[in-house]
């Protein structure tokens, strides 16, 4: 989605790890930003479109700005951040409510106030009433609009946005854009020579269009998109898929690095295996990263044209044994070279993307809890805290962490009831507050 020039922009600034990406995702309702500010990862500014009560705006996450660490931040990022701040209709200065105020916070507050743009100080990770009282100490930073929130638990967001969008124009119904084609970002990862670039060609064929790199994204990343049955499939960083290393050792290492990077950029990850070579340790390593990344996953057994049709069941059995941790991922047998199975893969991508982004209504979750036979502790209720991956919070009588086997049980029950094919499901527990 290309941000429209005419929309007001809201800019999020703050130090690393205060929760900018989580807030960004919460407000846009999408997973765009990289979650977690890992040092060394290009964290250019990230843009998205959001809507609050009919008022649309562009949201920009500037990445971690720390005044003290100017040397550390590539000047390009800083420049982009400055430009974004100067034209901001509103600046959200995000702070970790569990941390002490630092000199860097004070300097940043001063810098923001000097810009003369509307600024709110937003104190994140405030998920209880007691902490809300602590949030007041952040008034010391000299910014009078203060909002305690919990980006992760979606608390306080409405009040914040009510304030932020004040004065933004209401969407005119006649000006609304034509309904957008739904879009899914797909990463193709795997060892060297498993057929990733051949598969990319099979997907994109002749009709591919290069989606030019969004301003501010990594310079050499090129995405290619195709539309299939009214759905847009965006293959991320295809330059990285087509690029070839020199030696085997080099490419193997590179394949892991590329996989990790591509996983972050995608909604759905295709793990490509070579049917002739079978499942190797490196395949499992790469699959492990995809699983940890929380993305929807499809295992693609490529070069199946070289194998006898009958071997599918045995191959899958062996694969499942070696990749137990992604038992939720469908396995597809295909040939990128002949194109066999590629159409089905389009469908499957759509399906797993649907699983990863689906929300179960509270009523259904309540009925689900009632039907559970869970003796380990009492479950009062459950809510779905987020999507991509679907994350469920069980409010229980006991604070301790769940034993692995109990967690496993709950996840299995959720899958049994609601499906979620192809996506990890995350279960968390929290003690229910005493009334
Ligand atoms: P990448 O390194 O994963 O991008 O792999 P490539 O796409 O370059 O493919 C490696 C080799 O496998 C090339 O010689 C391809 O022609 C071949 N290849 C890819 N897919 C298939 C397939 O489905 N069947 C067969 N028989 N060969 C394939």
Global pTM value: 0.61
Question: If you average pLDDT over every residue of the chain, what do you get?
Answer: 83
In the chain, what's the furthest Cα-to-Cα distance? 71
> Using omega within 30 degrees of 0 as the cis cutoff, is the peptide bond preceding 389 cis?
yes
Protein residue with least CA distance to atom 11, ligand 1: 193
The confidence band for 357, taking pLDDT boundaries of 50, 70 and 90, is very high
**Token digits for 89?**
């209709």
Q: Ligand 1, from 196, 197, 198, 304: best to mutate by most atoms within 8 Å of Cβ?
A: 198
Q: Under 8 Å CB-to-CB from 220, ≥6 apart: which residues?
A: 213, 239, 240
Residue 201 and residue 304 in one domain: yes
CATH of the domain at 366: 3.30.300.20
Is 172 part of a structural domain of the chain? no
Shared-domain flag, residues 156 and 14: yes
Among 187, 189, 190, 193, name the best residue to mutate to test ligand 1's pocket (greatest count of ligand atoms within 8 A of Cβ): 193
Interstrand relation of 391-396 and 9-13 (parallel, antiparallel or unpaired): unpaired
Q: Do 52 and 196 have their domain in common?
A: no
User: Are residues 326 and 280 part of one domain?
Assistant: yes
The tens digit of pLDDT for each residue in 231-288 reads: 999 999 887 787 665 566 667 888 888 899 899 999 999 999 999 999 999 999 999 9
Ligand 1 close to Cβ of residue 305 (< 6 A): yes
Are 47 and 132 within one domain? yes
Q: Say if residue 143 is in the same domain as residue 74.
A: yes
Range of the domain at 43: 2-164
Q: 372 and 337 in one domain? A: no
- Residue 125, domain member (yes or no): yes
Q: Among 164, 194, 215, where does a domain finish?
A: 164
If you average pLDDT over residues 335-352, what whole number do you get? 95
Nearest residue (CA) to ligand 1, atom 6: 195
Per-residue model confidence as pLDDT tens digits over 180-227: 778 999 999 999 999 999 999 999 875 555 554 444 444 456 788 888
Count of the separate structural domains present in the chain: 3
pLDDT of residue 372: 87
Average pLDDT of 292-304? 96
Nearest residue (CA) to ligand 1, atom 18:
195
Are both 376 and 351 inside the same structural domain?
Answer: no
Q: Does the beta carbon of 192 lie inside 6 Å of ligand 1?
A: yes
In a domain, 346, yes or no: yes
Of 305, 334, 356, the domain-final residue = 356
Ligand 1 midpoint to CA 350 (Å): 24
Interval between CA 324 and ligand 1 midpoint (Å): 26
pLDDT, tens digit, 9 for 90 and up, residues 379-430: 888 899 999 999 998 888 877 788 888 899 999 999 999 999 999 999 988 8
Same domain, yes or no: 344 and 386: no
**CATH assignment at residue 146:** 3.40.50.300
């Amino acid at each position: 989605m290309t941000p429209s020039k005419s929309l007001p922009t809201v800019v999020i600034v703050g130090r690393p790890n205060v929760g900018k990406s989580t807030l960004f995702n919460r407000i846009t309702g999408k997973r765009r930003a990289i979650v977690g500010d890992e040092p060394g990862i290009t964290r250019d500014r990230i843009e998205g479109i959001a809507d609050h009560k009919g008022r649309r705006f562009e949201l920009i996450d500037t990445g971690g700005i720390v005044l003290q660490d100017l040397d550390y931040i590539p000047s390009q990022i800083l420049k982009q951040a400055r430009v974004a701040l100067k034209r901001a209709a509103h600046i959200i200065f995000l702070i970790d409510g569990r941390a002490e105020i630092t000199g860097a916070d004070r300097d940043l507050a001063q810098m923001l106030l000097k810009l003369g743009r509307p600024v709110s100080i937003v104190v994140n990770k405030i998920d209880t009433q007691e902490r809300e009282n602590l949030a007041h100490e952040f008034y010391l930073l000299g910014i009078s609009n203060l909002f305690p929130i919990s980006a992760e638990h979606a608390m306080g967001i409405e009040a914040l946005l009510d304030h932020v969008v004040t004065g933004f124009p209401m969407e005119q119904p006649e000006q609304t854009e034509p309904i957008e084609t739904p879009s899914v970002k797909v990463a193709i990862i795997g060892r060297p020579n498993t057929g990733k670039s051949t598969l990319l060609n099979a997907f994109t064929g002749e009709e591919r269009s290069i989606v030019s790199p969004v301003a501010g994204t990594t310079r050499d990343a090129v995405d290619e998109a195709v539309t299939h049955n009214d759905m847009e499939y965006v293959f991320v960083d295809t330059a990285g898929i087509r690029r070839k290393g020199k030696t085997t050792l080099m490419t193997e290492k590179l394949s892991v690095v590329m996989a990790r990077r591509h996983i972050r950029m995608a909604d759905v990850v295709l793990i490509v295996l070579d049917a002739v070579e079978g499942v190797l340790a490196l395949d499992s390593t790469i699959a492990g990263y995809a699983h940890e990344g929380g993305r929807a996953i499809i295992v693609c057994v490529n070069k199946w044209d070289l194998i006898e049709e009958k071997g599918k069941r045995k191959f899958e059995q062996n694969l499942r044994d070696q990749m137990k941790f992604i038992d939720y991922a469908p396995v597809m047998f295909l040939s990128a070279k002949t194109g066999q199975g590629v159409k089905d893969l389009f469908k499957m991508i759509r399906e797993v993307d649907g699983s990863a982004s689906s929300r179960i209504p509270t009523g259904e979750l309540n009925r689900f809890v009632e039907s559970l036979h869970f003796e380990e502790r009492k479950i009062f209720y459950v809510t779905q805290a987020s999507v991509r991956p679907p994350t469920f919070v069980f409010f229980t009588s006991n604070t301790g962490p769940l034993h692995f086997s109990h967690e496993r049980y709950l996840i299995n029950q959720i899958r049994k009831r609601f499906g979620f094919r192809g996506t990890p499901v995350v279960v968390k527990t929290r003690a229910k507050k005493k009334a």
